[in-house]
Amino acid sequence: MRDVQTLILRAADLWAHTREATSSEGRVAFGRLALLYERMAVRVARRDLHRSTLGDLLYSDKTKHRTLEAEWVALVRRIAQRDQDAFQTLYLWTHHLVITLIMAVTNDWFATEALAIDVFDRIWQEAGGFDPVGDTVVGWIMHMARSKAANAVLEDGDGPRKKHSPAATQVFEVLIDRSADARPFSASLWGRITQRIASAADDAPLPKATSSRLEEEWEQPAHGIYCKILATETPRERVSMLVRLAPHIEYPPHMHTGLEELYLLQGELWIDDRKLDRGDYNRAEPGTADKRVWSETGCTCILITSSRDIIA
């Protein structure tokens, strides 16, 4: 695996140069080289080591429609141009993720509502600064939400949150598992967000939240492992998804071809010798490997990673 790891690290270095390039020509050139090295790594893993990739598991059904990362990026670009319909759509696609993550970190419903409004206000104000080369839209929003929540916990100074929270579990069940109708709450929070934005910028009122939310079905790529693919990107092969492990199930050992970010919404998760609890974040760099990923309790997380990750 050393040759594969060397190729992955070279690709990661080139992606860093892509983000730092000052011209569009430079970004394109570095990006093409980075993709070449990633593809070479996967080719070596498949040919010489007989390994598969995460994408082989996720995309076995070639006929299934996938929401593209480009669709998410287009929404953010339109929001930067003050497109209120695009902002409403992005809210409906992500508010359940934002609220569940903030609640998982803070264990405080009143703080969660206020912080969620802050997050969407910031999206409205800072959409023009989003860089699709350096991040995915889901990753950008989740990082924003968790940073807000973590800072609020530090400022509050009440000590560590409870690991087991009936309130956080209830929010998770309503918004992620959809055990109850969340539409009244969704509309109420949207109303408060639009009031904040309209009063701050003296804009016209934003439309009511009546569009449908992004509806992706749970899929089962392996025994006890379920996922909802929120966005898939080509040619970089990044994927943003909800992942659920049933109790006592192990995620396959794998090497990271690109950056991996994980936000744990519910349950407990072990990554090698590190235990994650509800609300925790894990970052894995390209070229690193997770030898054992498992959950005794079962868990659900938001995962942003490369579909070129090499399965051991």
Q: Residue 248's domain is classified under what CATH number? A: 2.60.120.10
Contact 232, 55 (CB under 8 A): no
Whole-angstrom Cα distance, residue 256 to residue 53?
A: 10
pLDDT at 8 over 80: yes
Which residues have CB under 8 Å from 133's CB, separation 6+? 15, 18, 19, 27, 31
What pLDDT was estimated at residue 40?
Answer: 84
What pLDDT was estimated at residue 175?
Answer: 74
Q: Is residue 63 part of a domain?
A: no
Whole-angstrom Cα distance, residue 250 to residue 237?
A: 23
CATH of the domain at 115: 1.10.1740.10
What pLDDT was estimated at residue 213?
Answer: 58
- Please tell me the least confidently modeled range out of 25-29, 78-82, 97-101, 236-240: 25-29
Whole-angstrom Cα distance, residue 242 to residue 301?
A: 6
Whole-angstrom Cα distance, residue 276 to residue 268?
A: 6
Give the pLDDT confidence of 82-135 residue by residue, as tens digits.
999 999 999 999 999 999 999 999 988 888 999 999 999 999 999 999 999 889
pLDDT at 50 over 90: no
| Statement to judge: residues 88 and 47 lie in one domain | no
Closest by CA position to 277, among listed 267, 285, 263? 267
Max mean pLDDT range (144-148, 186-190, 191-195, 252-256): 144-148
Total number of domains constituting the chain: 3
Name the DSSP class of 127.
G
* CA 183 centroid distance within chain: 23
pLDDT at 147 over 90: yes
Q: How far apart are the first and last CA of the chain?
A: 10
Percent of the chain at pLDDT > 90 equals 52
DSSP, collapsed to helix, strand or coil, labels residue 265 as: strand
Q: Is residue 62 part of a domain?
A: no
Q: pLDDT-based confidence at 29, cuts 50/70/90?
A: confident
